Structures are given as structure tokens and as C-alpha cells.
Amino acid sequence: MTNNIRAYKNTTPTFGKSSYVDQSAVLIGDIVCGDDVSIWPLVAGRGDVNHIRIGDRTNIQDGTILHVTRKSPSQPEGFPLIIGEDVTIGHQCMLHGCEIGNRILVGMGAIVMDGAVVEDDVFIGAGTVVPPNKRLESGYLYVGNPMKQARPLKQAEIDFLKQSAVNYVELKNDYLAEQE
């Protein structure tokens, strides 16, 4: 185990095939990553008081914070952080105890808070704040603080959601090849 991948209460992050974690990222505790995941510089992920799950081909970009909410009498399951497949999380985002579907782009500096659910095929604009317990409907662009549904996504934007994930798989593969 490297210094940046750490156990908490005997649980260590695990990674699927061909995943990449930058040496400056710090991941702690109950974090499970799928195949072809990329975790870029200065990402901090703490699966300490609940768990984090990251789906295949998802990329978490520089400076993003991933965290969870503990279980309590008022919230018996707490809020884990669940991120689907083919997701692009932009630079310096904050994802806290929320559920992110498949084929999502979370723009730079966005904040998604406890209990929020983002359905599949969604763009969250840069700097957007998604308040607790909100549901973002599939197929739309959301922007603002607090977030508002701006408009339906165009087909080219929906296609880009998958392509963004593919682009980061290719970039991650380049980084892994450099390490060999």
C-alpha cells in the first residue's frame, strides 16, 4: 500500500482493471473503483464514515473532494457517495454523500450535496450548486446557485457525455504506459 492509498478501520480502497491513481491523490477507507477509472492530481477521497463507489470509465479530475455522511438516527444509512459509469467530474468539484448516475458531466467547481440524486445523461454546469436532497432529471443541463434546470440537452451533448469518458480512458492509458 502506498502512502496515498490508505486503510481506515482495516478497509483499503480497491481498484478495477487498468485504473490510474495519481501519486498526489489521497484515497482512504471504503472506496471501490471499477475498471478504467482515473483519479487525477490532488483528489481527496475519504470513505471513512460511509462508502464511496466509482463506476467503470469514470474520471475524477484535479482537486476534487469526495466524501460521505455518517449513519445517524435520523438518517440510518447516512449518505454514501455513488458515482456511475462514464462520468466526468471536472476540476475542483465537491461531491458529498450524493448519487451520480451514468454519463454525467459535472462542470468545474460544482458542488453536489447530501442526498442529491443525479439521473443518467446530465450536464451540471461549472460552479453549479446542487442543494441537499434534490433530484436532477435525466436529459437536461443544470446551472446556477442554487441549481436550476436550464434546458434539454442536444443530441450532440448527450453523445459527448460518453466521448468525454472515452477521452479520459485514453489519457489514463497514456499515463499508465509512461509508468512502465
Q: Where are the domains of the chain?
A: 5-179
Q: Please, what is the average pLDDT of the chain?
A: 97
Percent of the chain with pLDDT over 70: 99
Q: How far apart, in whole angstroms, are the C-alpha atoms of residue 67 and residue 60?
A: 13
Residue 141 above 60 pLDDT?
A: yes
Domain 5-179 bears CATH identifier 3.80.10.10? no
Strands 111-112 and 148-152: unpaired
Q: How many CB atoms are closer than 10 A to CB 40?
A: 22
**pLDDT, mean of residues 21-50:** 98
Residue 117 above 90 pLDDT?
A: yes
Q: How far apart, in whole angstroms, are the C-alpha atoms of residue 15 and residue 176?
A: 14
**pLDDT, mean of residues 83-92:** 98
Give CA separation, 9 vs 30, 49, 180, in Å: 9, 10, 32
pLDDT-derived band at 102 (thresholds 50, 70, 90) equals very high
The pLDDT value given to residue 3 = 87
**Cβ–Cβ < 8 Å for 134, 118:** no
Q: Which of 71, 80, 31 is nearest to 60 (CA)?
A: 31
Q: What cell does 145 get?
A: 446557485
Residue 72 above 70 pLDDT?
A: yes
**pLDDT, mean of residues 99-116:** 98
Q: Which of 22, 92, 15 is nearest to 52 (CA)?
A: 15
pLDDT-derived band at 2 (thresholds 50, 70, 90) equals low
pTM of the model: 0.96
